[in-house]
Structure 1
Amino acid sequence: MINDVRQVQGVIQTLTQSSDTLFLLLGAIMVFLMHAGFAFLEVGTVRRKNQVNALVKILADFGISTIAYFFIGYWIAYGHHFFGSATELAQGNGYELVKFFFLLTFAAAIPAIVSGGVAERARFYPLLIATFFTVGVVYPFFEGIIWNGNLGLQSWFTATFGAPFHDFAGSVVVHGVGGWIALVAVKLLGMRHGRIRAGKHTNFAPSNIPFLALGAWILCVGWFGFNVMSAQTLAGISGLVAMNSLMAMAGGILASLVAGKNDPGFIHNGPLAGLVAVCAGSDLMHPFGAFITGIIAGVLFVWLFTALQNKTKIDDVLGVWPLHGVCGAWGGVAAGIFGQKVLGGIGGVSFTVQLLGTLVGIIVAVAGSFIVYGTLSKTTGLRLSEEEEFNGADLSIHRISSTNED
């Protein structure tokens, strides 16, 4: 009888492990697909002479990110390495390996975010070097602090304020960090030639709205894997996360539709702003709170992107700092607002902690980015020459254009 019970328990355990592994693998594939969304969003936004470079950067960055995260980043964040035997690695149906794949797709979003900000004038190989260090060191340093309790910050938050910093799916850990890293890189690169004419700012129109829209749609679909499957097990899956993601996306769409005055670029980035902002508190908020979070994010993106392009010397091509940096930071704070029981949330969060944790993320991102991109700027240089920029990154770097037109 005891043996029969043990056999049943073993079968159940094996089934649970297999199911969790498959669940997380599907999530990893969905988030991996989002990188195609990053690529086409950039392809549709940049000028035609830079479209090939946009595609190549995203794929090359993913390859570099995989190596950096495999050998360094995952170990820094979680204290786990993959230098054991294949037999050891395959234990538990290889769940830890699939977890690495899933979290790698998050880590690789950092250079994908940066790519959109520095587009059209950045050198290729220095960017890849920067990718290695941001994904291998800067990002996992903060990731480990928040998601693995490294350095005791989360314990201190809990002991002092009664709750840890809550970021369920990475509003701050992924998007905020990526956006603030990008801001530093964009600032160091400077404006694209031709942006200011006769003392006035000139905006370059998107080259291909259908590609831009395709990228946004791919990202929106993949985001439900990004958020829902951040539970990492079937037992932890929550329909509330899916509903809140949907409502925040809708809020971002409607806000950007109105604030952006029907501009297709704003309308297709609006849902992304809402989804960025809801990541942190998607498992806590009431759908009404998620909807308001998305609305505020959509307005923030349109307002800040317009101000950047028309009033400052910060030339953020895809608006990745407003979209990911600011909306990500807003998401961290919003979790501390709409996650409260008094506003219909589940509770268990502290507004003070959410604010402090968000500020820590920004500090780590900015400091790390200045070290990485600042060093490369002084040593290898980050920017194409004026002639190379005029000819376009496609011909200057890859020796081919996006079309075969003579």
Structure 2
Amino acid sequence: MGDLDPAAVSTALTGADVFFVLIGAILVFAMHGGFAFLEVGTVRRKNQVNALVKILVDFSISTITYFFIGYMVAYGTTFFMSAAILSGNAPGPDGVAFASSGLDLVKFFFLATFAAAIPAIISGGIAERAKFWPQAMATAVIVGLIYPFFEGMVWGGNYGLQDFMEANFGAQFHDFAGSVVVHAVGGWIALGAVLVLGPRLGRYKPGQSSAQGIPPSNIPWLAMGSWMLCIGWFGFNVMTAGSLEGVSGLVALNSLMAMVGGVMAAVIAGRNDPGFVHNGALAGLVAVCAGSDVMHPIGSLITGGVAGALFVITFQLAQNRWKIDDVLGVWPLHGICGAWGGIACGIFGLEALGGLGGVTLAAQFVGTVIGAGYALVLGYALYGALNATIGIRMSPEDEERGADLSIHSISAYPEEDLTSRS
């Protein structure tokens, strides 16, 4: 057998990395179908079409905005050059170089699916009463500016945040797959949006201590959304490595353990409620993102279990005691559990607790607080500004009629509607 050609080997390895990252991007892209069906199964029948359309349009706006603005804000890279340069087949100006075989392009695709998760998260919180185009405008601002600014500080090394963390707290802020960068940021922006919008009509009656019950419209759709998200999450976490050389089975096992920990805690704390059970799996996965590459599997199981219980408890408190009408519970699920995941990384990632080390609790706590506070303040400011200028809430008549007919002029069951009229 002759000697292998080093150039051919390098090309093959790069091609393998392209395929690896591309599969990860496709899996995370599929998660957006999970976001859609989770919302479809939770909202009332008169708002199901809106949920489906909103997620797909938000994804499209997110991709365009991230391509032209957001990616540049986060990483300083633009795509305003020839396809030959972008695909790595020709050198770029001023030393700009893209990886061969289009590896950097599929990495953009992968990161764009992360960015698009932010408005998908927010969508569930503001469901059933938000106007369509003002939310689309908010999506463009969030994915073009708000999210990538923080993404760049944590993952791109921008503005000295990580240097500050290391100098003052013994380690950089560690968020491997986005418990804070993606999920907590999305969840805390959503809280700001929900507070500006206010509750749905009839959700809280004067003199009543708890919310007026609005049951999920379709448990099977809700469950399918959860399953799609769970499966795609292994692309979200594992393929964050970005290459075959960097991939780790520890991330896969930790993700699995956190997921089942979230399920078991939610089934107990939620007293067998199917909505809590299926969201409990997601709570565990949200929480493990940050430390999935450094935790011990037992630490991940505990992290997921705490997240599952946290979701059930904070969802009930928000809906009933604090009267925050967050339809899908995205603040408890992504905001609270994402923040817990950022902090948990600084606990169960420590070598003393079986982790790989390289993290400190202080850095994780401070980084998490910065991320959550940043998102809440800017989320509230953005939606407050939109509300004060163009309005973001549907009229009472349109809300009562439902977003499907009011915005899209068709319901989820048009044949049934025709039969009822005859």
TM band (smaller chain)? over 0.9
Q: What is the aligned partner in structure 1 of residue 133 from structure 2?
A: 125
Q: What is the aligned partner in structure 2 of residue 151 from structure 1?
A: 159
Aligned mates of 1:87, 1:227 — CA distance in 2: 31
Instruction: Report how far residue 167 of structure 1 moved.
Output: 0.3
Aligned mates of 2:372, 2:337 — CA distance in 1: 12
1:167 matched to 2:175: yes
Aligned mates of 1:160, 1:270 — CA distance in 2: 35
State the number of aligned residues. 402
Aligned mates of 1:361, 1:396 — CA distance in 2: 36
Q: What is the aligned partner in structure 1 of residue 54 from structure 2?
A: 57
1:265 matched to 2:275: yes
Q: Tell me the TM-score normalised to structure 1 length.
A: 0.98
Q: What is the aligned partner in structure 2 of residue 11 from structure 1?
A: 8
Amino acid at match of 1:185: A
Which structure 1 segments of 5+ residues have no match?
Answer: none
Instruction: Report how far residue 198 of structure 1 moved.
Output: 5.0
Deviating runs (4+, > 3 A) in structure 1? none
Instruction: Report how far residue 9 of structure 1 moved.
Output: 1.7
Instruction: Report how far residue 363 of structure 1 moved.
Output: 2.0
Q: What is the aligned partner in structure 2 of residue 74 from structure 1?
A: 71
1:223 matched to 2:233: yes
State the Cα deviation string for residues 230-265 of structure 1 (Å, max 9, x = none): 001000110000000000001000000000000000
Q: What is the aligned partner in structure 2 of residue 84 from structure 1?
A: 81
Q: What is the aligned partner in structure 1 of residue 43 from structure 2?
A: 46
2:186 aligns with one of 160, 178, 189? 178
Kept in 1: contact 2:204–2:323 (CA 8 A): no
1:29 matched to 2:26: yes
Q: What is the aligned partner in structure 1 of residue 201 from structure 2?
A: 193
Q: What is the aligned partner in structure 1 of residue 107 from structure 2?
A: 99
Amino acid at match of 1:25: L
Amino acid at match of 2:245: A
Instruction: Report how far residue 312 of structure 1 moved.
Output: 2.0
Q: What is the aligned partner in structure 2 of residue 356 from structure 1?
A: 366
Kept in 2: contact 1:64–1:131 (CA 8 A): yes
Kept in 1: contact 2:261–2:305 (CA 8 A): yes
1:309 matched to 2:319: yes
Aligned mates of 1:86, 1:401 — CA distance in 2: 42
2:392 aligns with one of 361, 367, 382? 382
Q: What is the aligned partner in structure 2 of residue 372 from structure 1?
A: 382
Instruction: Report how far residue 310 of structure 1 moved.
Output: 1.3
Q: What is the aligned partner in structure 2 of residue 135 from structure 1?
A: 143
Amino acid at match of 1:40: F
Q: SS of the residue aligned with 1:156?
A: helix
Aligned mates of 1:385, 1:229 — CA distance in 2: 43
Q: What is the aligned partner in structure 2 of residue 108 from structure 1?
A: 116
Cα pair distance change 1:391/1:136, threshold 3 Å: same
Aligned mates of 2:204, 2:381 — CA distance in 1: 29
Instruction: Report how far residue 311 of structure 1 moved.
Output: 1.4
1:276 aligns with one of 280, 286, 293? 286
Aligned mates of 2:265, 2:373 — CA distance in 1: 29
What is the root-mean-square deviation of aligned Cα atoms in Å? 1.0
Amino acid at match of 1:169: A
Amino acid at match of 1:260: G
Amino acid at match of 2:363: V
Aligned mates of 1:318, 1:73 — CA distance in 2: 27
Q: SS of the residue aligned with 1:234?
A: coil
2:299 aligns with one of 268, 289, 295? 289
Q: What is the aligned partner in structure 1 of residue 17 from structure 2?
A: 20
Instruction: Report how far residue 161 of structure 1 moved.
Output: 2.5
Q: What is the aligned partner in structure 2 of residue 203 from structure 1?
A: 213
Kept in 1: contact 2:70–2:144 (CA 8 A): yes
Kept in 2: contact 1:190–1:313 (CA 8 A): no
Kept in 1: contact 2:192–2:377 (CA 8 A): no
Name the % identity.
63
